[in-house]
Structure 1
Amino acid sequence: MMYNIHENLADINANSVVQKRGTVFWTYSCRRHLNSTQTATALRPFYFAVHPDLFGKFPKERAVNDKSLKHLHEYVSSIQANQRISLQPVELNFYLRSPVSRNFKRIRINLKSKDIRQTVVSVLQACGLPLDYVNTLPKQENYSTGERANSVNWYQYEEGELRYGGEWRPKPPPLRTLIRWLKENEERLRTYCEASRQTQEEIDALCERLVSRVGVESVRWENIWGNSHYIACLRTFNNLCDAQLARMRNTVGGRHLVFGNHTGINLHGEVVLGSEDVATDWMMLLRSIQAYDPMIERLPKMEQELSGLLNDIKIMRRHHRKFLMAQTYEVLLNRMLNSLRRSQQTVSQVLGAQDLSNLVLVVECESGPLAVSNGGEFLIPVSVPANMMLKFIAENKEQAATFLIDAKYHTFYMNQTLDQCRQSLNVSQISRDEAVTPKQMTECCQRLLDNRREINHLFQGTKLKVSTYYTLMKDGELTIPWNWLGG
């Protein structure tokens, strides 16, 4: 029970908790204006009311809402980036769909305030949406630090033991807070960053050499191993190019080159060379690379046909599945196509004439459970019978559409907060793990920004990755959990 209380401290609107014997100290760090997370939460009902994906069969209204949303995003971004001086009043038009009919209501929103709270209020009021959440946020706050032992006195230490709820319990271990962990690993982090600087310079030089001399479009490392393995791969490939430069230009010129776990051509048409394969394996692929071009050209046509068989549902290739090879992807698409070609009568019975163009289907595995991802994509294995697939889509299409809009909404605010982090924090780069959702990433980055005065010097020059755990790689990459504890 005590450990749950410690874990929940991260959810309290305080930046840190300083514990001393016999009492509890709270350190508050407050801000005057709404941050990105608060703005995203406040505008979420509006986003669901006007999102263009809700107007699939109404191109005029969809185009108006799409254009106005872009202008609104630019306006909000300018305020939060402290570019208020250059802001000009904006008049935006939106269409709201009536919940009880197919009619639309056109609304006009005049944006002229340079305050983010007033801007959010203006948008919500114009649409007749409630202000309950905005009203819960203080209009103006001051920075203060002080002792709150009387008002918040959950626990106290006495002689190495913990008194909680009138009971004596063993003293819990120290909390693993972000600042504590960074300070404990600060010396190692500086050592690794310094050692990896020279390595990174060589990597950049070798990649630039492949781009300029061989003509590859880009070079990327997608592997669990560190920079020492990356350099070894780059040196080997550069040596191959030096030995037969003209042939390699003709082979990989204009293509994207990836060093990964396997050798082949992935579903995006990128050349993937396995870091554990020898140069002979690489050359076997490169000699036959042009034979894959017709297959890469067939994939969009197969996706288009599959979309047509499922009432224009979008077929998407997820970015983080880039190591699904093109040959395997073609087989998966073909199996699903054959199943649906024989089941068009069932499609008509289950889906009817519904327009599914606002939904997304992902084809990337042979077997597994039917699912809707957090991003709103239908994840359907090709081994599932057509009638089960169609029934699952029909029963979950509303939920998938909601997830899709929500994911786009949170992705926008994540990108906005990431831009602020790159400008404000001293990290050399920042990225997120696949296990971290855009909403979680936004919350993490906003808290980093709120605490930048305390942590900037600890992040100096590091490559920051947000995941679900703490770790420090020898190439200087620092990984922290998205829900890190302050203090």
Structure 2
Amino acid sequence: MFCCLRAVRRRLCLEKILLQGVLQSRTLSGADAINALRPFYFAVHPDFFGQHPKEREVNENSLKRLNGYLENLQKPGFRSFKPTPLTFYVREREPNSSNVQESFSASGFRAVSFTLHTRDLLSTVLDILNSCSLSTEHIQSLNVNSQPHKEAKSTVNRPIKWDKTYYSFTGFKDPEEELEQAQRVETTLISWLDDNEASAVNKLKKSLPLRRELERLKFELSHQLQLSDIRWQRSWGIAHRCSQLHSLGRLVQQRPEVLKNVKGRTVVFTDRSGMSAAGHIMLGTMDVHHHWTKIFERLPNYYKLQKRLLLLEDRISQLLGGIQVIYIEELQPLLTLEEYYETLDSFYNKLRDSRLPFHPRSLRGLQMILESDRYAPSLHEFGHFTIPTVCDPATLQWFIFAKAQEARENLKRKEDLLRYGALR
């Protein structure tokens, strides 16, 4: 009897070792992982929980943490994995439905909780699908590489091929249609340019007087108000831009006293009025003169808020070892001064409470920007860090330490390119 038990134990241990070896030898690409998780995303996507705000918020937060976990799995050399508990509200499937559009009940959902602790994409994807009682059969159609077999190395990775109804119902883009459209554009662009060349030249000639009028109005207003620049957020037509400058000119004539504080500033015609995070005066194109007047009258208050914002950036810099907090207008969404201040204040309070052990001035010379629509920190090719406002302080500390030297090299490369361009 004891001999039988030892034989069974040896067999179970051997099966466990073989199973681990198979899982470790099979790898899944990031694109394949996203494709494999499509049924899961379809079942938990927050857009389907519009009438259930609590469940929607839970799913949004859990998806952020899940995406961060998946991103870490794809980072080369990343080994510090912490067990990540997640909770999702999963839409219930109808019992006998084969149609994608009808496979989920409109009223029911269930809560599913599980903890991720796997260290590769394939095991993680299987863990998620199994925990949510979702099928894993479609993963077999993915080309999962197997290292021990040479023939698998020559096979090309390909995504799951979904039925057309899936794309029309979910709103996802069909890659085959996108490829066909790109090919049609590629073959017809040259002929289209040839057909429209004469018409474009004719329209350009007709627009030249209006273009000169636009340049004249812009120059006169900039000189009269001593502005640094006048810009437009959108590609409005020339006639539209001239109309906006005429409106500003009339306001200058009617209320010159309210524009006494605009010297040295940049005026930007946008969709809303206020002051931008970059310190530019925003004039909403749909607003009337009364709204513009209010903005100009509030400029002294905006300037005070701008000084408080600079102090807040300095405090964040002190907590992060001297790294400079910057706002890059070309790379970040257009925010008002109030919105950006709230973002900085929330991030500062989180840092202050965490008390990260950064050595004073150890990161001087480095730069970072804050973004609220990202979930994982990254390093830009220009050398600045892009830090999500929701970033975990411990993750932030590790990432900055790990990438500090690379950031300095990228910044130096950027400075060399700028210097080279200036010399030419």
The two structures have a TM-score, normalised by structure 2, of 0.50
When residues 187 and 414 of structure 1 are mapped into structure 2, their CA distance, relative to the original with a 3 A threshold, is: farther
In structure 1, how many angstroms separate the alpha carbons of the residues matched to 2:270 and 2:380? Answer: 25
1:273 aligns to 2:283 (yes or no):
yes
In structure 1, how many angstroms separate the alpha carbons of the residues matched to 2:374 and 2:186? Answer: 42
1:116-143 superposed Cα distances (whole Å, 9 cap, x missing partner) = xxxxxxxxxxxxxxxxxxxxxxxxxxxx
In structure 1, how many angstroms separate the alpha carbons of the residues matched to 2:302 and 2:359? Answer: 37
1:144-163 superposed Cα distances (whole Å, 9 cap, x missing partner) = xxxxxxxxxxxxxxxxxxxx
Unaligned runs of 5+ in 2: 1-182
User: What letter corresponds to residue 404 of structure 1 in structure 2?
Assistant: L
When residues 223 and 375 of structure 1 are mapped into structure 2, their CA distance, relative to the original with a 3 A threshold, is: same
The answer (yes or no) to whether the contact 2:323–2:366 under 8 Å persists in 1 is: yes
The answer (yes or no) to whether the contact 1:268–1:322 under 8 Å persists in 2 is: no
The answer (yes or no) to whether the contact 1:229–1:275 under 8 Å persists in 2 is: no
Question: Which residue of structure 2 aligns with residue 212 of structure 1?
Answer: 223
Question: Which residue of structure 2 aligns with residue 85 of structure 1?
Answer: none
When residues 250 and 409 of structure 1 are mapped into structure 2, their CA distance, relative to the original with a 3 A threshold, is: same
1:250 aligns to 2:257 (yes or no):
no
1:313 aligns to 2:323 (yes or no):
yes
The answer (yes or no) to whether the contact 2:271–2:284 under 8 Å persists in 1 is: yes
Following TM superposition, by how much is the alpha carbon of 1:413 offset from its aligned partner in structure 2, in angstroms?
4.8
In structure 1, how many angstroms separate the alpha carbons of the residues matched to 2:274 and 2:390? Answer: 24
Question: Which residue of structure 2 aligns with residue 326 of structure 1?
Answer: 337
Question: Which residue of structure 2 aligns with residue 341 of structure 1?
Answer: 352
The answer (yes or no) to whether the contact 2:343–2:389 under 8 Å persists in 1 is: yes
In structure 1, how many angstroms separate the alpha carbons of the residues matched to 2:421 and 2:259? Answer: 39
In structure 2, how many angstroms separate the alpha carbons of the residues matched to 1:174 and 1:333? Answer: 44
Following TM superposition, by how much is the alpha carbon of 1:176 offset from its aligned partner in structure 2, in angstroms?
5.9
Following TM superposition, by how much is the alpha carbon of 1:181 offset from its aligned partner in structure 2, in angstroms?
6.9
Secondary structure of residue in 1 paired with 2:260: helix
Following TM superposition, by how much is the alpha carbon of 1:175 offset from its aligned partner in structure 2, in angstroms?
6.1
1:234 aligns to 2:241 (yes or no):
no
Following TM superposition, by how much is the alpha carbon of 1:287 offset from its aligned partner in structure 2, in angstroms?
2.4
The answer (yes or no) to whether the contact 2:367–2:383 under 8 Å persists in 1 is: yes
1:336-387 superposed Cα distances (whole Å, 9 cap, x missing partner) = 221222222xx22xx5567212321112436533222232221112222322
When residues 369 and 279 of structure 1 are mapped into structure 2, their CA distance, relative to the original with a 3 A threshold, is: farther
Alignment of 1:86-125 (within 5 A): none
In structure 2, how many angstroms separate the alpha carbons of the residues matched to 1:415 and 1:195? Answer: 36
1:379 aligns to 2:386 (yes or no):
yes
In structure 2, how many angstroms separate the alpha carbons of the residues matched to 1:179 and 1:414? Answer: 32
Equivalent of residue 306 in structure 2, options 278, 296, 300: 296
Secondary structure of residue in 2 paired with 1:361: strand
User: What letter corresponds to residue 224 of structure 2 in structure 1?
Assistant: R
Question: Which residue of structure 1 aligns with residue 205 of structure 2?
Answer: 194
The answer to which structure has the higher helix fraction is 2
Following TM superposition, by how much is the alpha carbon of 1:403 offset from its aligned partner in structure 2, in angstroms?
3.0
Q: Which is higher, the Rg of structure 1 or of structure 2?
A: 2
Unaligned runs of 5+ in 1: 1-171, 420-487
1:67-103 superposed Cα distances (whole Å, 9 cap, x missing partner) = xxxxxxxxxxxxxxxxxxxxxxxxxxxxxxxxxxxxx
1:400 aligns to 2:407 (yes or no):
yes
In structure 2, how many angstroms separate the alpha carbons of the residues matched to 1:405 and 1:267? Answer: 26
Following TM superposition, by how much is the alpha carbon of 1:409 offset from its aligned partner in structure 2, in angstroms?
3.6
In structure 1, how many angstroms separate the alpha carbons of the residues matched to 2:223 and 2:359? Answer: 54
Secondary structure of residue in 1 paired with 2:388: coil
In structure 2, how many angstroms separate the alpha carbons of the residues matched to 1:352 and 1:388? Answer: 17
User: What letter corresponds to residue 223 of structure 1 in structure 2?
Assistant: R
User: What letter corresponds to residue 414 of structure 2 in structure 1?
Assistant: A
When residues 322 and 216 of structure 1 are mapped into structure 2, their CA distance, relative to the original with a 3 A threshold, is: farther
User: What letter corresponds to residue 211 of structure 1 in structure 2?
Assistant: S
Following TM superposition, by how much is the alpha carbon of 1:295 offset from its aligned partner in structure 2, in angstroms?
0.9
In structure 2, how many angstroms separate the alpha carbons of the residues matched to 1:397 and 1:307? Answer: 15
When residues 341 and 366 of structure 1 are mapped into structure 2, their CA distance, relative to the original with a 3 A threshold, is: farther
In structure 2, how many angstroms separate the alpha carbons of the residues matched to 1:177 and 1:411? Answer: 38
* Higher-RCO chain (CA-CA 8 Å, sequence separation at least 6): 1
Alignment of 1:351-390 (within 5 A): 351-352=358-359, 355-365=362-372, 368-390=375-397
Following TM superposition, by how much is the alpha carbon of 1:411 offset from its aligned partner in structure 2, in angstroms?
4.3
Secondary structure of residue in 1 paired with 2:279: coil
When residues 300 and 174 of structure 1 are mapped into structure 2, their CA distance, relative to the original with a 3 A threshold, is: closer
Bigger shift: residues 183-192 or 373-382: 183-192
When residues 178 and 400 of structure 1 are mapped into structure 2, their CA distance, relative to the original with a 3 A threshold, is: farther
Question: Which residue of structure 1 aligns with residue 272 of structure 2?
Answer: 262
In structure 2, how many angstroms separate the alpha carbons of the residues matched to 1:230 and 1:201? Answer: 12
The answer (yes or no) to whether the contact 1:215–1:249 under 8 Å persists in 2 is: no
The answer to which structure has the higher strand fraction is 1
Question: Which residue of structure 2 aligns with residue 32 of structure 1?
Answer: none
Question: Which residue of structure 1 aligns with residue 8 of structure 2?
Answer: none
When residues 185 and 377 of structure 1 are mapped into structure 2, their CA distance, relative to the original with a 3 A threshold, is: farther
User: What letter corresponds to residue 356 of structure 1 in structure 2?
Assistant: L
In structure 1, how many angstroms separate the alpha carbons of the residues matched to 2:367 and 2:188? Answer: 39
In structure 2, how many angstroms separate the alpha carbons of the residues matched to 1:303 and 1:185? Answer: 51
Following TM superposition, by how much is the alpha carbon of 1:266 offset from its aligned partner in structure 2, in angstroms?
1.1
When residues 312 and 352 of structure 1 are mapped into structure 2, their CA distance, relative to the original with a 3 A threshold, is: closer
The two structures have a TM-score, normalised by structure 1, of 0.44
Aligned length: 241
Following TM superposition, by how much is the alpha carbon of 1:251 offset from its aligned partner in structure 2, in angstroms?
4.1
1:146-191 superposed Cα distances (whole Å, 9 cap, x missing partner) = xxxxxxxxxxxxxxxxxxxxxxxxxx98966998776554323322
Secondary structure of residue in 2 paired with 1:363: strand
User: What letter corresponds to residue 227 of structure 1 in structure 2?
Assistant: I
